[in-house]
Structure 1
Amino acid sequence: MGERVRVQRILAIDAGGTSTRAAVVDASGLCLGYGIAGGGNPVSDGYDQAVTAVADAAEKAVAESRAARHTISPTLVAMAGAGPRMQQTPIAERLVALGLDGDVDIEADLLAMFHSGTHQSSGSVLVAGTGSVAARITAGRLDLVSDGAGWLLGDTGSGYWIGHRVARAVVASLDGRGPGTALTALLLSELHLEETPERMHGRPRAMLDLIDALYKLRPVGLSRFAPLAFKACGQDPVASQIVTDAASALAGTLNAVRDHRLQGPVVIGGSVARAALAAPPAVAAPLRAALGSEEVIQVEDGLIGAAVLGLRRAGIQVDQEVFRRLQQTVGPLREAAGPGTKTQPTT
């Protein structure tokens, strides 16, 4: 362990479904280089694409840092699906091919998301984007995880879950089985379809066109319609009920892992979770009730958390000062390259 304490720079990577972010960080928490590449989630993007994205982001971050490659070690990759069955060797081989030689650790993106919000080692985290999952963190490790079972078996309250209900509500409305809803015009517009009085074989032409368009999508692709529910909620009863149900589902997932005797904040990540908190009070009530009086911190991704984990794996203590420096120095580099992590307390 003593040898690793002398490490001066580490490479942290957050492989997400939309983009993959990498940062070269020194022992003080100073971010020296930042890189961004395409989606790196092996579940949604495929393992080969994920490895390529990790390598591309790493190459950019190392080049920007202007650090000698042999001085950067270890590498911490935060990635969805990380676990005993994760193939670590291909990632390590690609990084070695870039001139990076050293230990490569792969950790769950959920753990990195929590550590992007706090330097503390215990608390809870709820992440809801395309999917949804929550965890209890104890002593810097995943202690208990709930949901994250995917679109077919779980991910309740997620972007997919909401988007699926939007699609079903609109089809039911067009079919006469459900109430009218503002979501109909929003969804048809999103898919560049028109609502006309024309009927074919006894059905509305718009409904038939919509069904054809929806079945051409991958199931998880329905998550793109979640923003429509948030846009209409508070004005449209159907949309409001969908978002309220999502907030209630997310509250249930969080409650499944919460231990109120455990001190520490609740970190909230993912666009859907943040949107649920920002929804009108009556709609967001179930989730806010689950949060209670706990300190709540919102984050957008897991890059800072990956850096925290990487530094700690290198034997470097990450206290409040180091964590604050990570926040202050990762931010400007990220803003220059594109969207990234921001943290803020939520009352």
Structure 2
Amino acid sequence: MPLLLALDAGGTSTRATLLDPTGRCIAYARAGGGNPVSSGLEHASSQLGLAAEGAVASTGAAPSDVGPVLMAMAGMSVNASTDWISGPLKNRGFDGPIRLESDLLATFFSGTWEPDGYGVVAGTGSAGIRVRSGLVERSADGLGWLLGDVGSGFWIGHRVARAVVAALDGRTGPTALTALLLEDLGIPATGELVQSGRLESLRLATDALYRLRPVELSRFAPLAFAARDDATAKAILADAADALADLFTAIASPAVTGPLVLGGSILAQEGVVAESVAAAAAGRVTRMHQVPDGMVGAIVLSLRAAGVDVGPEVFDRIVTSLAALR
């Protein structure tokens, strides 16, 4: 059997791992954002190609030595056309079949080899899945910043920005978030009023915030955790905690009691948000795992697509050999 290539394509970075059919990871490489939804097809295909090429080049193998290529990414149907990436990969020498998989399923299988369980991710966006027999049986949210992504980095960051603007506008009381946000934006805190009768710092902050793409508001989510003792920040985090607990409840079923795998920067933070999800899952799951990304799961999915049975021994081999490469 030829070598396998697994890619975990995120909006910020792409990870690629070259492996053999036993689950031994041979090489690992990174590139920029490879998600076509957030980065565009041209940029995403370029970064996926760079990551794939980087993983193979470090071993002395040739792209033609690689067989199936599996890509885990958000926002793409597993039945979607792969024409946008097959051409660029073939131009680099990769001519094996390409398979798309859900990034949520890859995140789930980054924490367990077991076929049943749950995955909840809260990073820039948020979503949850129930997995049965290795397939997504139920999913919730992942609907994007406009319609969903409750409790996510965007969701929290948006509320931080709104809270600071309201405080500067005099519509609410002071909050520790104000100084943190203004510092992040490089805006001096001043009580000076401009001709419109507003604070100069409010005018500058408003202009700076409107220059950002909506999803970029997620960069302010860490401010809520940094000021978690502030009443406003505490309320924002409490609302996020409730929203993510409700997200788990939406996917939970008495028929599935496997592990719960948590992913994303928001759930990696200690405190009320992660604790709320854990409380909602108590008695419904066998255990919980926190994972940094979906790379291990993309490898698991690539092996299973190639007909390899991934049990505890193979899973441990994947985790151990990948850790040695990172």
Question: Which TM class, normalised by the smaller chain length?
Answer: over 0.9
Structure 1 counterpart of 2:126: 132
C-alpha contact (below 8 Å) 1:133/1:148 kept by paired residues: yes
Superimposed CA distance per residue, residues 312-332 of structure 1 (whole angstroms, 9 cap, x where no aligned partner): 111111111111111111112
The letter for the 1-side match of 2:15 is R
Say if 2:204 is the partner of 1:209. yes
- Give the TM-score of the pair, scaled to structure 2: 0.96
C-alpha contact (below 8 Å) 1:10/1:72 kept by paired residues: yes
C-alpha contact (below 8 Å) 1:134/1:254 kept by paired residues: yes
Say if 2:278 is the partner of 1:288. yes
Structure 2 counterpart of 1:320: 312
- Cα shift at 1:168: 0.6
The letter for the 1-side match of 2:312 is Q
- Cα shift at 1:93: 2.0
Summarize the Cα distance change of 1:324–1:285 in structure 2 as closer, same or farther, 3 Å threshold: closer
The letter for the 1-side match of 2:177 is L
Superimposed CA distance per residue, residues 286-305 of structure 1 (whole angstroms, 9 cap, x where no aligned partner): 32311214311011111111
Summarize the Cα distance change of 1:247–1:320 in structure 2 as closer, same or farther, 3 Å threshold: same
Partner SS for 1:21: strand
RMSD: 1.4
Structure 2 counterpart of 1:15: 9
- Cα shift at 1:85: 6.5
Structure 2 counterpart of 1:298: 290
Structure 2 matches for 1:1-347, cutoff 5 A?
A: 7-83=1-77, 86-200=80-194, 201-233=196-228, 235-275=229-269, 278-279=270-271, 281=272, 284-293=274-283, 294=285, 295-334=287-326
For 2:78 and 2:3, locate their aligned partners in 1 and report how far apart those are by CA, in whole Å: 27
The letter for the 1-side match of 2:147 is L
For 1:176 and 1:15, locate their aligned partners in 2 and report how far apart those are by CA, in whole Å: 43
The letter for the 2-side match of 1:71 is D
C-alpha contact (below 8 Å) 2:78/2:100 kept by paired residues: no
Structure 2 runs not aligned, ≥5 long: none
For 1:68 and 1:199, locate their aligned partners in 2 and report how far apart those are by CA, in whole Å: 65
The letter for the 2-side match of 1:208 is R
For 2:3 and 2:112, locate their aligned partners in 1 and report how far apart those are by CA, in whole Å: 21
Q: How many pairs are equivalent?
A: 323
For 2:140 and 2:199, locate their aligned partners in 1 and report how far apart those are by CA, in whole Å: 41
Summarize the Cα distance change of 1:205–1:85 in structure 2 as closer, same or farther, 3 Å threshold: farther
For 2:204 and 2:93, locate their aligned partners in 1 and report how far apart those are by CA, in whole Å: 52
Structure 1 runs not aligned, ≥5 long: 1-6, 335-347
The range that moved more, 219-228 or 99-108, is 99-108
* Percent pairwise identity: 49
- Cα shift at 1:260: 3.1
For 1:255 and 1:121, locate their aligned partners in 2 and report how far apart those are by CA, in whole Å: 20
- Cα shift at 1:28: 1.8
Partner SS for 2:172: coil
Superimposed CA distance per residue, residues 100-146 of structure 1 (whole angstroms, 9 cap, x where no aligned partner): 22211011111111111111111110011111010111111111110
- Cα shift at 1:22: 0.3
C-alpha contact (below 8 Å) 1:24/1:65 kept by paired residues: no
Runs of 4+ in 1 over 4 A off after TM superposition: none
For 1:288 and 1:75, locate their aligned partners in 2 and report how far apart those are by CA, in whole Å: 35
C-alpha contact (below 8 Å) 2:78/2:102 kept by paired residues: no
- Cα shift at 1:67: 2.8
The range that moved more, 46-55 or 219-228, is 46-55
The range that moved more, 91-100 or 144-153, is 91-100
Summarize the Cα distance change of 1:88–1:331 in structure 2 as closer, same or farther, 3 Å threshold: same
- Give the TM-score of the pair, scaled to structure 1: 0.90
For 1:84 and 1:261, locate their aligned partners in 2 and report how far apart those are by CA, in whole Å: 25
